[in-house]
Amino acid sequence: MLAGIYNVTAEQGSSFLLVLNFEYPDLTDPSGETFLPWDLSGYTARCQIRRLIDDADFMIEMTTENSGIQLEAGETGEIRLIMTPTQTAALTTNGVYDLEIVSGTEVSKVIAGNFTLIPEVTR
């Protein structure tokens, strides 16, 4: 499965919340129109934003371990990416990102794209 492409915009100095819902096709539906939520129980997730894809250092890292990512328990397929106003205030430029979910040794990149930062005027 290839990762979806989704470009993200955040405002410097403001809270950031992106809610994603992941579903997969129900293979028992011959019409191909039914989708089921991805059960994220037991998964962890990680997301990094870098200025350029080849940069050694990231600008920010969000993970389930540092509370930058929340996975909704059960069969909702919901992932929340979260940055505090302090975290977005520390960002200074646009970049690129991707989001991976992890189960044991299996890693799946589920979404990637450009990250656009709208500079803060009032600070």
Nearest to 71 by CA among 98, 42, 36, 106: 42
Specify the pLDDT at position 83: 98
Specify the pLDDT at position 1: 65
Q: Please answer whether residues 25 and 34 qualify as being in contact, where contact means their C-beta atoms are separated by less than 8 angstroms.
A: yes
Give the domain ranges of the chain: 4-118
Give one DSSP letter per residue of 89-122, joined into a string. HH--S-EEEEEEEEETTEEEEEEEEEEEEE--S-
Nearest to 95 by CA among 116, 110, 77: 116
The CATH number of the domain covering residues in 4-118: 2.60.40.10
Q: For the chain, which ranges sit under pLDDT 50?
A: none
Specify the pLDDT at position 10: 98
| pTM of the shown model | 0.89
d(CA 117, CA 2): 26
Q: What does the pLDDT look like over 40-63, one tens digit per residue?
A: 989 999 999 999 999 999 999 999
Query: What's the full length of the chain, in residues?
Result: 123
Specify the pLDDT at position 53: 96
Residue 37 DSSP one-character state: E
